[in-house]
Amino acid sequence: MIKRNFIFLLSIFLLLYINTTTTATQDYIRRNIDIDRSPKNILIGSYIGGRSHLKPMLDIAAILIERGHNVILLTSGNYTPSSEYPTVKQISLRNSLNFKETKKLAEAYKNDYERIAVIIEQSLKTYNNIIEDYKNVAKEYEIDLFFCDILINDACLDIANILKKPVVGFSSFFQFIAPVSHKSDPLFHCSISLENESFLERFRCMIIQPIKMSFIFYPLANQLNNVRKQVNIKPDQLSFGNIPKVTLALVDTFFGFELPQSLPPNVQEIGPVLSEEYPTLTLELSDFINKHKRVLYVAFGTYFTTTVENNSKLLQSFVEAINENIIDGVVWALSQTHKDDFYPTLNLIDGSQLQASSILNNEHPHIHIVKFAPQFAVLNHTNIKLFLSHGGAGSIHESLYTGTPMLIFPLGADQTGNGEKLKSAGVALTLNKFNLDVNDIKNKIDILLKDEDVKKNLKRMEVLAKISSKRKYRAADSIEYILYSSSLNEGIDEEFLNEWIPADVRMGFIKRNNYDVYGALLGIILGFVGGILWVTFKLTRFIVNDQKPKKE
Q: How far is CA 281 from CA 332, 334, 385, in A?
A: 14, 17, 16
4-13, 331-340, 350-359, 425-434: lowest mean pLDDT where?
Answer: 4-13
Nearest to 148 by CA among 276, 275, 267, 245: 245
Asked if 41-269+473-502 and 283-450 have one fold, the answer is yes
Indicate if the pLDDT at residue 280 is higher than 60.
Answer: yes
Question: Residue 383: which H helix or E strand, with range?
Answer: none
**Cβ atoms 133, 126 nearer than 8 A:** no
* pLDDT at residue 339 is higher than 50: yes
**Among 44-53, 59-68, 89-98, whose mean pLDDT is lowest?**
89-98
**Between 181 and 444, where is the model more confident?**
444
Mean per-residue pLDDT for 12-32? Answer: 61
CA–chain centroid gap for 411, Å, is 16
The pLDDT of residue 408 is above 90 = yes
Higher pLDDT, 542 or 141: 141
pLDDT, tens digit (0-9, with 9 covering 90-100), for 164-196? 899 999 988 887 777 888 888 887 888 888 888
Domain ranges of the chain: 41-269+473-502, 283-450
Query: How far is the C-alpha of 274 from the C-alpha of 281, rounded, in Å?
Result: 18
pLDDT at residue number 480: 92
Q: What is the mean pLDDT of the chain?
A: 83
Full-model pTM: 0.83
What gap in Å lies between CA 133 and CA 130, rounded to an integer? 5
pLDDT of residue 144: 92
pLDDT, tens digit, 9 for 90 and up, residues 476-494: 999 998 888 877 766 666 6
The least confident of 196-200, 410-414, 470-474 is 410-414
- The CATH H-level superfamily of 41-269+473-502 is Glycogen Phosphorylase B; (3.40.50.2000)
Residue bearing the bigger pLDDT, 452 or 12 = 452
Residue 161: what pLDDT? 85
Higher pLDDT, 281 or 98: 281
283-450, which class in CATH?
Answer: alpha beta
- Region of 278 (left: φ > 0; alpha: ψ -120 to 50; beta: rest) is beta
DSSP per-residue letters across 227-245: HHHHTT------STT-GGG
